[in-house]
Amino acid sequence: MSQREFERLAEDALPMRLAAAANRLDKEFDGIYERDAIEAALEESAEALSPNGVTPYVHILAERFTRERLTALAYAEGRLAKTAPQIVFVSLTGGGRAQIGAALLARRLGSAVDVHCAGSDPSAEIDENVKAALSEVGIDISEGFTRPLTSEVLAGADVVVTMGRSVGEVEIPATTRHLDWRVGDPAGADLDEVRHVRNEIEGRVDVLAEELTGGSQPI
**Rounded alpha-carbon distances, angstroms, from residue 25 to 16, 49, 110, 141, 168:** 14, 18, 24, 24, 32
Closest CA to 112 of 92, 86, 79, 80: 86
DSSP 107: H
Task: Please state the φ and ψ torsions of residue 132, each to the nearest 5 degrees.
Answer: -65, -45
Instruction: For the chain, list the domains and their CATH numbers.
Output: 3-76 (1.10.8.1060), 86-212 (3.40.50.2300)
pLDDT tens column, 18-67: 999 999 999 999 999 999 999 999 999 998 888 666 577 888 999 999 99
Whether residue 219 has pLDDT greater than 60: no
pLDDT tens column, 148-185: 889 999 999 999 999 988 888 888 988 899 999 999 88
pLDDT of residue 145: 84
- Across 162-175, b (16+ Cβ under 10 Å) vs e yields bbeeebeeeebeee
Closest CA to 199 of 144, 133, 142, 109: 133
Mean pLDDT, range 112-124, rounded to an integer: 85
Contacts of 72 (CB under 8 A, 6+ apart): 86, 116, 152, 153, 155, 156, 157
Distance in angstroms (rounded) separating the CA atoms of residues 189 and 197: 10
Which amino acid is present at 31? G
Residue 105 near residue 209 (C-beta atoms within 8 A): yes
Whether residue 124 has pLDDT greater than 70: no
Query: What kind and span of H or E run contains 88?
Result: strand 86-91
pLDDT tens column, 196-214: 999 999 999 999 999 998 8
